[in-house]
Amino acid sequence: MHWINAAGMIIMIMSGWKIYNDDVIFSWLRFPDAITLGTWAQHGLQWHFFGMWIIAVNGLAYLCYGLISGRFRSRLLPLSMRELIATIRDALTFRLKHDDLTHYNAVQKLLYIGIILVGILAVLSGLSIWKPVQFSELAWLFYDFQTARLVHFLCMAAIVLFLIVHVCLALLVPQSLLAMVTGGPIIKDSEARLEQRPSAADAN
């Protein structure tokens, strides 16, 4: 799901830049043709729809898997402000450890929760732009068509920023790159059972 999502997201971003160039939001911002996808705006729109279905099907499967399996609950929760501040302090002082790839630190939890919410907002604003009449109630949430476009653009910017940070952090932790290709670090059966066994505190 990680690599399918990565491919679909690249298609969506590059084709979205092509569509944006045809009707810019900010007069000072245009994306070079070298980093856009599509010969012209309509061609870029076709690529955007293609990427949209990849992201939609893969994203829905990912959300269902994360909720049903309990992966979101075990990996992303709990998240406390104290833990977040401590993790940021360790990162700024270069003392942040990445020994256990099966556990996310507070910053990772915040980023993953945030990008999931941004992705959902991008889908909703994208539907409002695509079918403003058919999804008029949804479009109403964004006030008008141009506001929906702006929200969609800001979601794209947030996703691109997340991808940059994500790739940089992965490069700083080489063992995570291997885990991305192989499907994750190898967990021994004894360790897996120990991790799934409720603690005394949980029992109480």
At a CB cut-off of 8 Å and minimum separation 6, what does 164 contact?
none
Point out the least confidently predicted range of 14-18, 60-64, 90-94.
90-94
Q: What share of the chain is helix, strand, coil (3-state, %, to 5)?
A: 75, 0, 25
Helical residues (DSSP H) of 23-80, grouped into ranges: 41-69, 71-76
Which residue is it, tokens 């679909």?
Answer: 8
Domain ranges of the chain: 1-69, 97-189
What pLDDT is recorded for position 81? 87
CA distance 56 to 43: 20
Q: What is the pTM of this model?
A: 0.80
Residue 142 · residue 121 · CB < 8 Å: no
Burial of 150 (0-12, 13-18, 19+ CB in 10 A): middle
CA distance 125 to 193: 43
Residue 21 · residue 6 · CB < 8 Å: no
Handedness of CA 63, 67, 68, 73 (dihedral sign): positive
Region 78-83: mean pLDDT is 86
Q: Quick: pLDDT tens for 87-109.
A: 888 777 767 666 666 778 888 88
Region 118-136: mean pLDDT is 91
